[in-house]
Structure 1
Amino acid sequence: MNQTPHVAFLPSPGMDHLIPLIEFAKQLVHHHHFSATILIPSAAPPTKAQKTVLQTLPKTIPHIFLPPLQLPIDINNGIPNLPHHDSLSLPSLKSTLSSLTATIHLAALVVDPFGLEAFDVAKEFGLSPYLFFSSTAMVLLFCLNLPKLDETVTGEYRDLPEPIQLPGCVPVHGKDFLDPVQDRSHDSYKELLRNMNFVDLEEGALKALQDEGLGKPPVYPVGPLIQAGSIEGLERSECLQWLDGQPSDSVVFLTFGSGGTLSQDHLNELALGLELSGQRFLWAVRSVGKMSKIEWVPNVFCSGSEEVKCSLSRDKSHGEDS
């Protein structure tokens, strides 16, 4: 049996979950002498985008598609229910892990926030479970502090007259909290109760995460993780040609993920702020209601370009700007 420590990665459906975990797996394999396998749950045949990304994997990082799921019609309505999807994937995950552990020294299972139910499966196989939190350190800090806020705050957070100070972070008004916590009677809030980041960007929040007192496991910043390699056609992009001609550290890059949209009011406010700033910027905008066909900015290359001074992104699952 191969004794090299082997890590299994279980991303939730969606490219925004698959790509960061793939890049994390590459880092562990190339720089820390681990072995890795990507386990991909699915309810349909792999998309062209998935195939393109998986083709960038080195031969030393195999990937396995779990058997396709038959999603109930009442939740298969075009809006992914990721926790439900991952829950239905657990029997297939158990079967796949059983086969893997028979031939390799599997040491750990890494999941994203929608795959937390897989922690119990990991323990069944004697694996160390890890959560890969690809949003910001501030969002993670908020989630860890939410039980305390729930105990001490009366009423809805959006109605609080004063902003709330989280350790290591700027004060935040309750009306600007994550969407799932705006209605404390909603199931999403109750469920929330039950990092692609790096130290230079969020030093205060990361220090607070590493302090004692939250009753939490260790937190390790592992970013920035940038998709490596070239994707056919991107080198001819007009926006990248423009970016190449800008001075270093002079451009603000704005992107809101593969499923992120803003209301017209938010777009107007953001556009006004950019105009008043006088800053060069590159902005990927998705029109509301046009989810199937978009014009997009190649995030891979923008994030790694020396011309980009800072990046504004949006966690599409929680509605939090960072």
Structure 2
Amino acid sequence: MVGAGTNTAMGPRKPRVVLYPSPGMGHLVSMIELGKLFAARGLAVTVALVDSPHDTSATGPFLAGVSAANPSISFHRLPQVKLLGSEPPEMLTFEVVRLSNTHLRDFLAGDTPAVIVLDFFCSVAIDVATELGIPAYFFCTSGAQILAFFLHLAVLHGKSTRSFGEMGQELVHSPGITSFPATHVIQRLMDRDSAPYKAFLNMSTNLFRSQGIIVNTFRLLEPRAMDTIVAGLCAPSGLRTPPVYCIGPLIKSEEVDVKRGDESLAWLDTQPKGSVVFLSFGSLGRFSAKQTRKVAAGLEASGQRFLWVVRSPPSAYSSKNSEKPPEPDLDALLPQGFLERTRGRGLVVKSWAPQRDVLAHDAVGCFVTDCG
């Protein structure tokens, strides 16, 4: 296999690893940082890309910055796939990846890599890796507690015929993590008969088909979850837990930051040290108008200083293609007078903020985000 690092006319060729991130900037950034670790150890890295059903507009400049700063990392964009248009919004990412399997197979067969690393949401691609005999690893961009839950999801599924949405405040018990009310389960898992639930359940079982799982954490941060996973206590009976490798924390390098306005950073410069709550929910994290107003009400009632990234609600743009979401209309989304009443102690920015730089700022003392 040439991709595995055999000799060529130009001399020994670096072993090549293919990274396959799911659509969305948050997962792409983490996968790129993993790629830098591989490149620093003498591997050639190719990132296979699928077009996002929710274009964030920041992907192009970000990839250009990565290419300029990291010549050992290359990119291959898979051909665009056509969605039917009838998929629920929460299934678009899964569908884009599933429909891309044929193109991924053609790409990998043309120059077989030594290994492929799959994002969690690209778990269906393990069928392609298995068919071609390519060792496949999964990359969990979140921490060990999320990994522990998903490794155990098939067990929870088999223990009950009820959906999480029917359990109310009943506690969910998953090894390695603190028990929690069923109402705290992510929304896409609430209905066991729904397409998103079945996709996540399939992802959970596919984890055990891999050669190993790479997780963005370190053991001392999450010792209980990590030790439980390694002991095999999360796995369904009869299944072996793949080796787990902690490689975190992965933090986006400064040289690939997208050059944008720094209104948020300038505002943070005026705030006391450790006083600001930063709220940002990922490039695909979008709340309904009602949910956005609830968050606003909570922030106002708290009296806390805050920096909040607000995005347009899902209904404000088409979820059936890659069109860029519009900028949010803050006057329509937020409670009347909210911006005036919180002026000075709070700042609302539209759609985007330089997250790495914000989190590194001395004024930020708390981060409220999605599980990624």
Judge same fold: TM > 0.5, yes or no: yes
CA contact 1:90–1:118 (8 Å) conserved in 2: yes
Whichever residue aligns with residue 35 of structure 2, its letter is A
For 1:178 and 1:79, locate their aligned partners in 2 and report how far apart those are by CA, in whole Å. Answer: 12
* 1:312 corresponds to: 368
Given the alignment, which residue of 121, 127, 137 partners 1:130? Answer: 137
CA contact 1:8–1:110 (8 Å) conserved in 2: yes
Instruction: Report the aligned-residue RMSD.
Output: 3.1
Would the alpha carbon gap of residues 221 and 274 (structure 1) be closer, same or farther in structure 2, given more than 3 Å must change? farther
CA contact 2:52–2:93 (8 Å) conserved in 1: no
Tell me the alpha carbon deviations over residues 270-307 of structure 1, each in whole angstroms, 9 at most, x when there is no partner.
44554565544322122424452231222232234454
* 2:98 corresponds to: 87
Question: 1:126: how far off?
Answer: 3.1
Tell me the alpha carbon deviations over residues 15-46 of structure 1, each in whole angstroms, 9 at most, x when there is no partner.
2332221121112212x3322111113389x9
Would the alpha carbon gap of residues 204 and 286 (structure 1) be closer, same or farther in structure 2, given more than 3 Å must change? farther
CA contact 2:276–2:304 (8 Å) conserved in 1: yes
Given the alignment, which residue of 32, 53, 77 partners 1:65? Answer: 77
1:293 aligns with 2:320: no
For 2:18 and 2:139, locate their aligned partners in 1 and report how far apart those are by CA, in whole Å. Answer: 12
Tell me the alpha carbon deviations over residues 96-140 of structure 1, each in whole angstroms, 9 at most, x when there is no partner.
223323xxxx32101112222221322333322011122343332
CA contact 1:197–1:224 (8 Å) conserved in 2: yes
Would the alpha carbon gap of residues 88 and 230 (structure 1) be closer, same or farther in structure 2, given more than 3 Å must change? closer
CA contact 2:170–2:181 (8 Å) conserved in 1: yes
How many residue pairs end up in the alignment? 308
* 1:34 corresponds to: 43
1:258 aligns with 2:265: no
Would the alpha carbon gap of residues 125 and 12 (structure 1) be closer, same or farther in structure 2, given more than 3 Å must change? same
Whichever residue aligns with residue 118 of structure 2, its letter is V
* 1:98 corresponds to: 109
Question: 1:53: how far off?
Answer: 1.1
CA contact 1:158–1:175 (8 Å) conserved in 2: yes
For 1:130 and 1:37, locate their aligned partners in 2 and report how far apart those are by CA, in whole Å. Answer: 15
What pairs up with 1:1-322 in 2 under 5 angstroms?
A: 1=7, 2-30=12-40, 32-42=41-51, 49-57=58-66, 58-69=70-81, 71-75=82-86, 81-101=92-112, 106-160=113-167, 161-194=169-202, 195-199=215-219, 201-215=221-235, 216-228=241-253, 229=255, 231=257, 233-234=259-260, 236-246=261-271, 248-264=273-289, 266-271=291-296, 273-274=298-299, 279-288=304-313, 289-290=315-316, 292-294=325-327, 295=350, 296-315=352-371
Deviates more, 1:194-203 or 1:170-179: 194-203
Q: Percent identity?
A: 32
Question: 1:200: how far off?
Answer: 5.6
